[in-house]
Chain A
């Protein structure tokens, strides 16, 4: 799986948009970009994933650059409950190979009142 690079920490004011960047410059054509978050040693929570196009769901939006070498997770109106470690993961989606997730250190997002 391709490696990802994320800033170790970020702060965001409550009610503002949180924009979390991720670099994945060696991503392959058959790999998705996934985002998970982990709140205080609970099980990781799935947020969103995408291949090429931008994606939006009830939790967040995912913006993937045209060359697919980087992406940004956007939490439109951050709340205190969004304080967590956010993981950007590149994972195979088809073909022979292994489908486990490879977690890096993630970004610790702190939402400030």
Chain B
């Protein structure tokens, strides 16, 4: 069974640009979570999607947004990039909201 996949693995952008990160959950999983791990900091919860709807978001500005598609894959968009957005962005999926979350390898975003 394939795990959670994320693309791209690395992304380099400049300040003010937009970044789009993608996540494909494990087959059969309907919940997708996004987390940010900035250098030297812990993992911070960003967004949670379940059955196509945004269910909760962490303490991040509105320029962090996303969506979940009918096939349960998900996209994270970061608008008006700032230098401090440089981080490892991790996606996790679970069979349903109460089940174990499994993480993908992450997308490393660098904002110059």
> Do chains A and B interact in one complex?
yes
- Provide the bound-state CA to CA distance between A42 and B92, in Å: 13
Instruction: Specify the main secondary structure of chain A where it touches its partner.
Output: loop
CB of A44 closer than 8 Å to a CB of B: yes
16 contacts between A and B (CB under 8 A): A36-B103, A41-B88, A42-B105, A43-B105, A44-B90, A44-B92, A46-B100, A98-B55, A99-B48, A101-B33, A101-B43, A101-B45, A102-B45, A103-B35, A103-B43, A104-B42
Within 8 Å CB of B104, what residues of A?
43
Residues of B in contact (CB 8 Å), total 26
Residues of chain B at the chain A interface (Cβ within 8 Å): 4, 31, 33, 35, 37, 42-45, 48, 55-56, 58, 88, 90, 92, 94, 97-98, 100-106
Instruction: Specify the main secondary structure of chain B where it touches its partner.
Output: strand
